[in-house]
Every structure is written in C-alpha cells, then in structure tokens.
Amino acid sequence: MKAGARVYGTLIISTSPRWPAEVKKLGLDFVFLDTEHMSMDRDQLSWMCRTYSALGIAPIVRIPYPDPHQASIAMDAGAAGIVAPYVETVEQVQALRGAVKLRPLKGQKLQRIIEGVEAPEPLLGEYLQDFNRDNILIVNIESRPALDALDDILAVPGLDGVLIGPHDLSCSLGVPEQYRHPLFAEAIETIIRKARAAGVTAGIHYFFGVDQEIEWGKLGMNMFIQASDMTAFVEQTNRELGEIKQALGDTAKSGQNRIHI
C-alpha cells in the first residue's frame, strides 16, 4: 500500500476454525473482518486475527464506530490495521491516529502530541515509530460531509487509506443503490483521484460489478475488498441450484438476497 501497489482481500464472516486454511488458498493479501455489521465478540476476533496473521494474511478490522477505544481493542486483538466507519471530520481521524499510530500513549500526553503542542521525547519518538511501524489506519468515506472534508482528512499524518462504503455513500448522495448513477460515479472518481494524489490508498468493498472495479483500478484505486464468503456462497449456490431446477423443470422459489454491508 505504501508503495502504491494494488492489494486484494475479501470480507470473512465465517468464524469456523476450518475456514482460514481454505481462505489461504485464494492468495489474498488481507482479510476484512467487520465488527460494525457482524456479531463477533473480542475472543472470537482475536482468534481470527491471530490465525490469519499466522498464515501470512493481514487481518484488517472494521470497528463498530469511529472511536479510538474501539480501535485500541481491535489492535490489541491482533489486527494489522483498522477501518473506522462513517468518518466525516479531521478530529475523528486525529483521534484514531492516536490509537493506531501512537500506541500505547493515552490521556493528556497523547492529546498534546496529536494537537502538535508537544513533541515526543527522542527516545519515545523512536519507540513509537518502531512500535507502530506496520499498523494500518483506514477510514470509511461514505457520506456527502466526508466528501466535503476529504482534502483535510487526507492531510492527516499517518492516514494510510480511505475505503469507500458504496451503499451508505449512494444513500447520502440521494441515489440509493444506484451504483451506475453519474453522481455516484463522480464521487468515486473524486475519491480515487484525491487520495492517490495525496499518496493515500483508495479502496472499496464492492460486489455489484467487476467491470466497474476494473475501471476504478485503471483510475488508480489500489485496494479491493471483493464481496464476502457469504455473498459468494449465495451467488454460487443460487446459480447451481437454478441450473439444476431449470433442467428438471422445477419452479425456482423467489427469495430476498439483497445484502448491504
């Protein structure tokens, strides 16, 4: 990511102990573990983070809300980095930076360093740099206010990436689920262009059109979270059962399979 290379992952929902070994066969750079929308306790999360790390796959955890304490919990669990949802202000990013990039500092000393009124002592500065060298800080851009504040957000030191939340962004723009609407397309292109110009990774979690992802990659997007184990299961099973039922003359049952993450 720091070199601008493209990285690829998927959302993992299954907590089965059999799953990590199967996921490793995909050759992914990272897995996306979502504690915002999925029910997962701290013990489960830590086992998943440690297991995927041991297999050489970086676990990136989306925390429930953009709070530095939640970021600390995820990092303590073994996350390689965090994604903070629905970030809209520089102040939110600065607080998250403290939890991810200036660990283990807390309290007034951390706040003074974040505000720039105090610098770490030389030994502390070296320690913090080494201690947090590989920690990754990513924030979700998924609203009009976030777009309006994007230039300032991208200027926060230590921000590694912005991750587009397509469903929430489309709703905030007034074109819900219209992922090929000109307003949505313009917002995506703006985020990619501004993030890459600032040396920040631009990414998306998407499962509505591989053709769009390819085009965004050509524009400079370099972090792809492709679908999830759940959506892959639904699509593949629906496709194969549909083929069987059609061949045997059975009527397919209509179902509700819209998934928003």
d(CA 60, CA 78): 9
Selection from 165, 185, 160, 12 nearest residue 87 by Cα = 165
Structure tokens, 201: 């990774």
Buried b / exposed e across 112-142, counting CB within 10 Å, b at 16+? ebbeeeeebeeeeeeebeeebeebbbbbbbb
d(CA 252, CA 241): 9
Helix (H, G, I), strand (E, B) or coil at 29: coil
Q: What are phi and psi of 138, to 5 degrees?
A: -130, 140
Instruction: Find the catalytic residue in 37, 181, 205, 260.
Output: 37
d(CA 166, CA 184): 9
Residue 11, C-beta contacts closer than 8 angstroms, at least 6 positions apart? 31, 32, 33, 34, 205, 225, 227, 228, 229, 230, 261
> Is 205 designated active site?
no
Residues 146, 88 contacting (CB under 8 angstroms): yes
d(CA 136, CA 113): 19
Specify whether the backbone of 12 is left (phi greater than 0), alpha (psi in -120 to 50) or beta. beta
**Which residues are the active-site residues?**
37
